[in-house]
Structure 1
Amino acid sequence: MSHEQSLLWSWTDSQDTVSLRELSHCCGLTEDELDDLVAYRALKPVSPATPERVFSAQWVMPLRNAARLRVDYDLDMFTVAILLDKLTRIEMLQRQVQSLQARLPAHLQSDLGA
């Protein structure tokens, strides 16, 4: 695993923040494309009023997935904005399901294939 990959994994498990430049480098979208996503309100800075916008590191993986799908299906940025919203919603729901499954007794977890 490269240093960048290990850094990406640590970002997704933390409350760290990344600059626009770092986010661009990690996800494969240009800074202008990320600005478009901010304009579409699909990508939200931690504090938009500061001169250098920073973003939650939790955006790295959804943006990487959206960038890959953009290339695979030749999507425009408006469509990527919609896609990003759905990807983050799916990720949130998956975390909720995992949390609920973790609360189940062990014998019920095995019945669900958890």
Structure 2
Amino acid sequence: MMRPHIVEAVWLNDAGLCSLEQLAEFSGLTRAELEDLVEMGEIAPTSVDAENNLYQTHYIVIARTARRLRDDFELDGRGMAVALNLLRRIRDLEAQLNNAQAKLPQ
């Protein structure tokens, strides 16, 4: 007999919001590690109130990448932030290169 498997899905977009606790749950990072990423500017709250900061759900991908970097390279919070910044810069440079190549005559 097959047992049903229940899966929870989260839309990772700019419209969805989640709390820091949810980011921790979905990413595997601790609250302190996520707070380091917020402090370093890698993750930014969309709404700031005294009770609870909310974050766009697309930050789950960034937080999961940070967790993999932490686990694979034994990085601390600052190291994760530096690595994330470098990865973002590489993606930006690759996009610029692709745009420049697309403008070249074939």
2:16 counterpart of 1:3: no
Q: TM-score w.r.t. structure 1 length?
A: 0.66
Q: Does 1:26 align with 2:30?
A: no
Q: Which residue of 1 aligns with 2:43?
A: 43
Q: CA deviation at 1:55?
A: 0.5
Structure showing greater Rg? 2
Q: Would the aligned equivalents of 1:16 and 1:56 in 2 still touch at CA under 8 Å?
A: yes
Paired AA for residue 41 in structure 1 = G
* C-alpha distance in structure 2 between counterparts of 1:90 and 1:16, whole Å: 26
Letter in 1 for 2:63: L
Give the helix-richer structure, 1 or 2. Answer: 1
TM-score of the superposition, structure 2-length normalised?
0.70
The residue identity in structure 2 corresponding to 1:66 is A
CA RMSD in angstroms comes to: 3.0
Give the number of equivalent residue pairs.
97
Deviation at 1:92, TM superposition (A): 6.2
Residue identity opposite 1:69 in structure 2: L
Structure 2 contact 34–63 (Cα < 8 Å) conserved? no
Please state whether the residue corresponding to 2:55 is helix, strand or coil: strand
How far did 1:14 drift? 4.8
| Structure 2: stretches of 5+ with no match in the other structure | none
Identical amino acids, percent of aligned pairs:
29
CA pair 87-49 structure 1, distance change in 2 beyond 3 A: farther
How much has 1:49 moved relative to structure 2? 3.9
1:86/1:31 CA distance change after superposition, 3 Å: same
